[in-house]
Amino acid sequence: MKLPISLFALAALTLAAALAQEQGYTPDPGWAPPADAAARKNPLSSNPEAAGGGRKLYLRNCSECHGGEGLGTDAGPGLHLEVVQEQSDGALFWKMTNGNSGRGMPSWSRLPEAQRWQLILFLRTLPRKSPQ
C-alpha cells in the first residue's frame, strides 16, 4: 500500500514543481525579434506531418532545458505557456536561431533551417496553458 501513496506523492511534487516554474517565468523584454524576422512564415506549415520530426529534434536538443513534455524546468520555461505560444513562427525561429545568452538560451543556428522550422511545428502541437 505504501507504493501507490509514494507514487502519488512523487506525481504531486512533480506537478507542483512544474507549476511553480511556470508561475515564475517572465519574458526578457529586450529579447525581441526585428519586425521582418517576426513576420517570416513557416515554409513547412503546409506539411503538418513534419511536426513528428520536430518532436524527435525537440527530445534530442531541447528537452534537457524545457522538459520532456515542454513543461519547463529550472533551466528553461514551459513552452505551453501562452506568452510563448502567442508569438509568431518567425519570432520563435529568430529566437531559436539567435539564442539569448543572458537567459541561458543557446543559439541553435547550427541546426539546418528546415529542422528549426520543424521544431516550431512541433511546438505548435503543445496545448496552451496560462500560468496558474
Given a cut of 60, whether residue 130 has pLDDT beyond it is: yes
Is 130 a domain residue? no
Task: Domain of residue 97: give its range.
Answer: 2-123
Single-letter residue type at 25:
Y
Q: For residue range 7-65, what is the model confidence (pLDDT) as tens digits?
A: 555 454 454 444 444 556 788 888 999 999 999 999 999 998 999 999 999 999 999 99
Q: For residue range 107-118, what is the model confidence (pLDDT) as tens digits?
A: 999 999 999 999
Q: What is the mean pLDDT of residues 81-101?
A: 96
Main-chain dihedrals φ then ψ at residue 127, nearest 5 degrees: -70, 145
Given a cut of 70, whether residue 125 has pLDDT beyond it is: yes
Is 85 a domain residue? yes
Given a cut of 70, whether residue 131 has pLDDT beyond it is: no
Residue 32: give its domain's CATH number.
Answer: 1.10.760.10
Q: What is the pLDDT of residue 6?
A: 54
Could you give the CA distance from residue 17 to residue 72 in angstroms, rounded to a whole number?
9
Look at the block and give the residue holding cell 507549476.
19
Is 84 a domain residue? yes
Could you give the CA distance from residue 98 to residue 108 in angstroms, rounded to a whole number?
7
pTM of the shown model: 0.79
Is 15 a domain residue? yes
Is 33 a domain residue? yes
User: Quick one: which of 128, 129, 114, 91 has its CA closest to 45?
Assistant: 114
Q: What is the pLDDT of residue 21?
A: 45
Given a cut of 80, whether residue 73 has pLDDT beyond it is: yes
Is 129 a domain residue? no
Could you give the CA distance from residue 108 to residue 119 in angstroms, rounded to a whole number?
11
